[in-house]
Homo-oligomer: A and B are copies of this chain.
């Protein structure tokens, strides 16, 4: 299993730190996002991302072209959209299909794998919309408290 090779790198944490041993035998490792060199950490870094969440969620409703996504996801730059889509395609979360139309059109759609993740990320986006008032009032309270710490 090729997954094991990712843990070959040095596992030393902070000097003097005792990290929980977690059975370091040659047996198959259980993926753990809290381990520094675990591939899940890299994947988490890709997917726990603003643009990923927004793009993936919209693609669930149906395939979209490059510039359609750009118009829907307000504020995204061409560079970040291109970059994020490429990343998503590499991770097997979206599939890219080019059509030989007059100006070449490219259609992005979500894969079954991407669909399962999109549901989780959508929950986060929805949380933000549902709880924005609580967060904003917490921020206001915090900022007021910091000011009067004179």
The answer, among B43, B45, B71, for a CB contact under 8 Å with A14, is B71
CB <8 Å contact, A33 and B128: yes
**Chain A 103-137 interface 0/1 with B at a Cβ cutoff of 8 Å (1 = within):** 00000000001001100110111011101111111
Question: Copies per complex?
Answer: 2
- A113 CA to B128 CA, complexed, in Å: 11
CA of A83 to CA of B93, assembled, Å: 31
User: Do the beta carbons of B124 and A48 come within 8 Å of each other?
Assistant: yes
Smallest Cβ-Cβ distance to A123: which chain B residue: B120
Q: Write out, one digit per residue, whether chain A residues 7-32 have a CB within 8 A of any chain B CB (1) or not (0).
A: 00000011001110000000000111
Are B34 and A128 interface neighbours, CB within 8 A? no
Q: Are A139 and B90 in contact, with the CB atoms below 8 A?
A: yes
The proximity string for A residues 92-109 relative to B, scoring 1 for CB distances below 8 Å and 0 otherwise, is 110000000000000000
Given A71-B14, A124-B120, also A3-B134 (CB < 8 A): no
Determine if B70 and A132 form an interchain contact, defined as CB atoms under 8 angstroms apart: no
Task: Give the residue among A34, A53, A72, A74 with the most B Cβ atoms within 10 A.
Answer: A74
